[in-house]
A and B are shown apart, each in its own frame.
Chain A
Amino acid sequence: QKEVEQDPGPLSVPEGAIVSLNCTYSNSAFQYFMWYRQYSRKGPELLMYTYSSGNKEDGRFTAQVDKSSKYISLFIRDSQPSDSATYLCAKNSGGGADGLTFGKGTHLIIQP
Chain B
Amino acid sequence: SQTIHQWPATLVQPVGSPLSLECTVEGTSNPNLYWYRQAAGRGLQLLFYSVGIGQISSEVPQNLSASRPQDRQFILSSKKLLLSDSGFYLCACTGGGETQYFGPGTRLLVL
Which positions in A face B, CB cutoff 8 Å?
8, 32, 34, 36, 41-46, 49, 51, 88, 90, 92-93, 96-100, 102-105
Contacts and interface: CB of A to CB of B under 8 A. Distances in A.
Nearest to B90: A43
Shortest 6 CB-CB contacts between residues of A and residues of B: A99-B46, A43-B102, A104-B43, A32-B98, A102-B44, A97-B32
B105 A42 contact: yes
Nearest to A34: B99
Interface of B: 4, 32, 34, 36, 41-44, 46, 49, 51, 57, 59, 88, 90, 92, 94-95, 97-105, 107
- Chain A binding surface SS class: loop
A45 B49 CA distance: 19
B44 A41 contact: no
Nearest to A42: B104
Contacts of A92: 98
B86 to A, nearest CB: 14
- Chain B binding surface SS class: strand
A55 B104 CA distance: 30
A7 to B, nearest CB: 13
Given A42-B104, A43-B104, A97-B51, A49 B98 contact: yes
A43 B97 contact: no
B102 A100 contact: no
A99 B98 contact: no
Nearest to A44: B102
24 contacts: A34-B99, A41-B88, A43-B4, A43-B102, A43-B103, A44-B44, A46-B99, A46-B100, A46-B102, A88-B43, A88-B44, A92-B98, A96-B51, A97-B51, A97-B57, A97-B94, A99-B34, A99-B36, A99-B92, A99-B100, A100-B44, A102-B44, A104-B41, A104-B42
